[in-house]
Amino acid sequence: MKIVTFVLCTLLSLKVFSQNKIEKYLDSLDIEVNNSPSYALKKQYEINQLKKNLEAASFLQDKYSFCKRILVEYSKYQADSAQYYLNKWYEYGKQSNDPRWEQEILLYKAYIQTLRSDFTNANHVLSLLPSIENIEPELRYLYARIQFERLLHINNLAENKDSSLNIRIWNKYSPYISPTDVYYSIYYTSLFPQKITDSIYTILKTEAERAPNATPQKAFLQFCLSHLYEIKGDTEQSFIYAICSAITDIQMVNNDSQSMLYIIQLMSQYTGGKDQLGRLYRYTQFCSDNICDYKDLGRSLQLIVIQNQVQKMYKQFISQKQQRYSATLIICLILIIVAAGIAYASVRRYKKKIKDITDVTQDYQQQQSLIPELRRESKIANDKINALEAEIERKNNFFTESLRTQVSLVTKFSQTKKTLLNLITTSQLREAKKLLSDSLLNNNELNQLYESFDEIFLSIHPDFVERFNKLLTPEAQIILESPQKLTIELRIYALVCLGVTDSISIAKLLNYSPQTIYNYRLKIRHASVIPEKDFAKTVMNMYKDNLPDNTTENNE
């Protein structure tokens, strides 16, 4: 038993140590992700120096060389800029006498399109070139590398890899890459991981250590080792090499990188991704930014799949969290119910013991002592009601007087208009000039006065239309065209609600004839669901607590 316990403790401690080691590497990766903008600035500064050299170059050969170097720098950094300098390089190439310039430019064009997973255009460009046997000898290495890069990108996107295609491509193009070249080992291990032996592992690790820092070779070797260690079942080493590859890609500003996507996959599978949701989000956003900058269609599809996995993991985490909260809440509710039940039972037992005639008498006396207090509170409530009614009446009077003043002003200005017109017609220009110092109201201004009345009235009585419609039959319901503008009928009865009940006063306020006002009121009364004789009083008392009495609309 002691031996079993010792073994379990040892395995647990090793697992914790492994997780801590990976966590340290992830912390280093976090630092590099934060420093990525500074690396990009440094990269852009170096490219800008090359651009200055290109502008200063006098000889065509120098321009051709600098343009090619800028293209190479942009090839894994910004594909659009690489395409721009590729076109510029093409123009310089046409002016040179180099017989291989066109083939070299087409190869680089196909290379960039391959890195962006634009296989259709890449295949079209390659179709413009002769077969590898007939191409310029010094360009065959680049041609072979493009074929292998294209195959690796296809394998990354394919669900089921075609092993026979891997063999055909390897047999055809591997002779053009020296076995001592680092990319020979990279392509072989990427295409045939099942054939890797321990000795090859050692060679790859040695080459990865010897490769210069911040170079594509080093990043590629580290990525291959990560993939191979995952196949081998060594998750820790797979993580470490994937993180090292991502750090190398960030340092050299390689936006054509698979390592960060691979890290996200490993984290979601092996490290309890729910505990790393913050990192997963940052890394996913970092990948998304690089892919958008590089416009890589292939990695965009891969990122969508990974994002779906992360989103599913996040939903599971939220669901589990909600389940824990729900369980805690249920337990708390049960405890509260039990406590309430115990308290209730205790109170009942206590009441049964003390309940007697003396208690009934005391309760009666207590109720009697509360009567003066209740009367006082009732009086206070009645005083408040009276004050509110007085306030309502004051506001109603205020709005009525305000409207009466405004209409009077409009009438006065209208008379002034007529007087001015008569003066102009009779050529009394001096008298007309005196009147021009006063501003005249027109119908639009009069409408604005009424709309102002509507807005103020509805702000005080926002449910007036709803209450008014309850007094009408369903087919006679009034619907406002504008939420803050009353119809003529509603405006008439708004005045009635304010206490202006006779049609003559309403006609003066609304600038209509008394007969028109009477006709509108008659139409509304005919559509009433209550007796017509009670309608005006009901509207007038709409915001008062008293019921309508037998007052009729004789004053209409």
pLDDT tens-place string over residues 353-367? 777 667 766 776 777
pLDDT of residue 481: 87
Is the whole model's pTM more than 0.75, yes or no?
Answer: no
Tell whether the model's pLDDT for residue 168 goes beyond 60: yes
pLDDT band at 524 (very low <50, low <70, confident <90, very high): very high
Dist. CA 246–CA 225, nearest whole Å: 13
Tell whether the model's pLDDT for residue 470 goes beyond 90: yes
For range 440-451, the mean pLDDT: 70
For range 28-37, the mean pLDDT: 88
Compute the mean pLDDT over every residue in the chain, rounded to the nearest whole number: 79
For range 419-431, the mean pLDDT: 81
Higher-pLDDT residue of 30 and 302 is 30
Q: Which of 214-218, 337-341, 461-465 has the highest average model confidence (pLDDT)?
A: 461-465
The CA-based dihedral angle spanning residues 523, 528, 531, 535, taken in that order and rounded to the nearest 10 degrees: -70
pLDDT of residue 550: 44
DSSP sequence for 411-458: HHHHHHHHHHHHHHHTT-HHHHHHHTTS----HHHHHHHHHHHHHHHH
Dist. CA 546–CA 222, nearest whole Å: 89
pLDDT of residue 184: 84
pLDDT of residue 549: 46
In whole angstroms, how far apart are CA 306 and each of 141, 311, 319? 34, 9, 20
Residues 188/170, Cβ–Cβ less than 8 Å: yes
- List Cβ neighbours of 103 (8 Å cut-off, separation of 6 or more): 129, 135, 136, 139
Structure tokens at 278: 């913050």
pLDDT band at 391 (very low <50, low <70, confident <90, very high): low
pLDDT band at 233 (very low <50, low <70, confident <90, very high): confident
67-114: pLDDT as tens digits? 888 888 887 788 888 888 888 888 887 777 777 788 888 888 888 888
What letter would DSSP give residue 528? B
Structure tokens at 133: 């046997």
Higher-pLDDT residue of 397 and 519 is 519
Higher-pLDDT residue of 491 and 423 is 491
pLDDT of residue 14: 40
530-547: pLDDT as tens digits? 999 999 999 999 887 544
| Lowest-pLDDT range of 164-178, 204-218, 299-313, 474-488 | 299-313
Helix (H, G, I), strand (E, B) or coil at 472: strand
Residue type at 512 in one-letter notation: Y
Higher-pLDDT residue of 396 and 285 is 285
pLDDT band at 473 (very low <50, low <70, confident <90, very high): very high
pLDDT of residue 18: 56
pLDDT of residue 551: 42
pLDDT of residue 17: 45
- Domain segments of the chain: what residues? 376-540
Helix (H, G, I), strand (E, B) or coil at 201: helix
For range 193-197, the mean pLDDT: 79
Q: Closest by alpha carbon to 524, among 490, 480, 484?
A: 490
* Residue-wise burial string across 62-79, b where 16 or more C-beta atoms lie within 10 A, e elsewhere: ebbbbbbbbbebbbbbbb
| High-pLDDT (> 90) share of the chain, % | 15
Tell whether the model's pLDDT for residue 268 goes beyond 50: yes
Angle (nearest 5°) at CA 503 between 500 and 509: 65
Dist. CA 303–CA 328, nearest whole Å: 37
For range 169-187, the mean pLDDT: 87
- List Cβ neighbours of 508 (8 Å cut-off, separation of 6 or more): 404, 407
Tell whether the model's pLDDT for residue 280 goes beyond 60: yes
